[in-house]
Chain A
Amino acid sequence: MYTIALAGFTIAGLVLRSIFPRVLHLAWSTPDFLLLLVVFNAMFRGRWQGGVAGFLIGLTEDLFFGRFIGLNALAKCVVGILSGSLSKSIFKENMWVPVINVFVGSLISMTLVFLVGHLAGARWYFTQIVYQGFFEVLFNVCLVPFLYGPFFHFADKRLQVKEESDSGD
């Protein structure tokens, strides 16, 4: 159930990201809903599951947009692994934890996408990335207080149910 919901969130995130600029014309930048999903998921599932989910979500994003396939998969995989590494040592109920995680994750993801994209032949300019990246990070961080609460309750409940059913078996 949790995995199916995650897939649903991924599709919703892709569509939202695609139509977002129609609603808000800000700096040609949109929040990366999928990055939020990767970070939140990794915080609950740990390093490896976070990394795998990050890879699959990123790959779906790449396939949806059709270019530089693997770029977001790589970046989000790394973010998933790093965010998941902290999963056991952090206090998930504290709102600052996902805020800082998303902030750092956004910076890492953007840096990786920029560097690897450059290696693969994309002509993205550093100033452009800084300008658009600033707004993307800002959007991502601003969305955390609104999205983390519902995700926390959802994941907490679903994963508890799963653990109980696993231990019951």
Chain B
Amino acid sequence: MKRKGALWAIVFTAAVILLLYLIQQTGWQSADMAAPGKVLREIAWPVQNVASAVDSGLRRFFGFFRDIRDLREENEELKESLAAAEYWIQQMKELREENLRLGELLGYQTIHSRMFDLVIARVIGKDADNWNQTVILDKGSSSGLDCDMAVLAPAGMVGRIISVTPHTAEVLLLIDRESAIGARVMETRFSPGMVTGTGQDDLLEMLRVDHDAEIEPGQTVITSGYGSIFPQGLMIGTIEKVLPDSNGLTKRATIRPVVDFRILEEVMVIRGLREEGEDIPEEVRDFSIPPDIRVGH
């Protein structure tokens, strides 16, 4: 009886050790998600898609009745917004033309003089397990998506793709602790370092900034373009606070992201850079990045 108990204890301990090893091996340091996970997600994808579509349909249906009293007023507001948007698009075109001319004059091609090859994707699932800030998109490798592609919302940066299946892609959001992105202060062109997530929906952090660096609340933070994932000049957020570190040598800044990560519904994935002269697709026009970012500096 004692021997049987000891045997069970050994088997149980071995199983736990094996499990711990498996957990460690399939953590964040692994390049991609495990193959069985891809299969299961592919199986669940149609269900998620249908559930997401039903959810959107129901919300639209009930939203119609809830908002019907405000429709007239909203219509007026939309007309005004449309007029403003048309003016804005015109301004953008003019600025783009101007930028191209100046670029030619200066004799260099920057990344800003190109348009992005974008794919619009719907968010069909969020946050796998409450511990990490990730979302699942309804497009995957069959739409040309791949790991490490940058993901945008109309307001700015959202994150990067960390795993793909043929019909889904998992995006690690900027607000996740595992996320890190090279940043630059737009006003000063100073690149103080990396912006990382805090795990909170509405806060990012810039750590270990030199104590004499020229950063202050209210400044705009954009991507620096260092590294191969994120193009430069995309909006990240606004510096909210600058606090000295206890060591006296460095300081850190808290950043309010421009994207509201709680209400992500549709995003754009940068598949690549479109060369000059190609037609800009309709979807890109609808989701244009603010002109002060796209036009370049």
Identify the A interface with B (CB < 8 A).
11, 14-15, 18-19, 21-23, 25, 28-30, 32, 60-74, 113, 116-117, 119-125, 128-129, 132-133, 136
Contacts and interface: CB of A to CB of B under 8 A. Distances in A.
15 contacts: A15-B44, A15-B48, A21-B127, A22-B126, A28-B262, A29-B130, A63-B34, A66-B26, A66-B38, A68-B23, A70-B26, A119-B20, A120-B24, A123-B177, A132-B131
B55 A19 contact: yes
B27 A68 contact: yes
Given A64-B41, A66-B37, A18 B199 contact: no
A122 B20 CA distance: 13
Contacts of A22: 52, 55, 123-126
Size bracket of the B interface? 35 or more
B26 to A, nearest CB: 4
B194 to A, nearest CB: 14
A18 B44 contact: yes
B33 A28 contact: no
B128 A125 contact: no
B51 A122 contact: no
Contact of B41 (A23, A66, A129): A66
Contacts of B34: 63, 66-67, 69
B199 A73 contact: no
Contact of B200 (A30, A64, A128): A128
B25 to A, nearest CB: 8
Interface of B: 16, 19-20, 22-24, 26-30, 33-34, 36-38, 40-41, 44, 47-48, 51-52, 55, 123-133, 136, 163, 170, 177-178, 199-201, 262-263
Q: Which of B19, B29, B38, B131 has the most CB of A within 10 A?
A: B131
A21 B261 CA distance: 11
A66 to B, nearest CB: 3
Nearest to B262: A25
Contacts of A128: 177, 199-200
B130 A132 contact: yes
B28 A121 contact: yes
Contacts of B41: 64, 66
B163 A66 contact: yes
Contacts of A14: 44
B16 A74 contact: yes
Nearest to B176: A123
A121 B27 contact: yes
A102 to B, nearest CB: 16
Q: List 5 A-B pairs, minimum CB-CB distance, nearest first.
A: A66-B37, A66-B33, A21-B126, A18-B125, A65-B128
B177 A125 contact: yes
A67 B200 contact: no
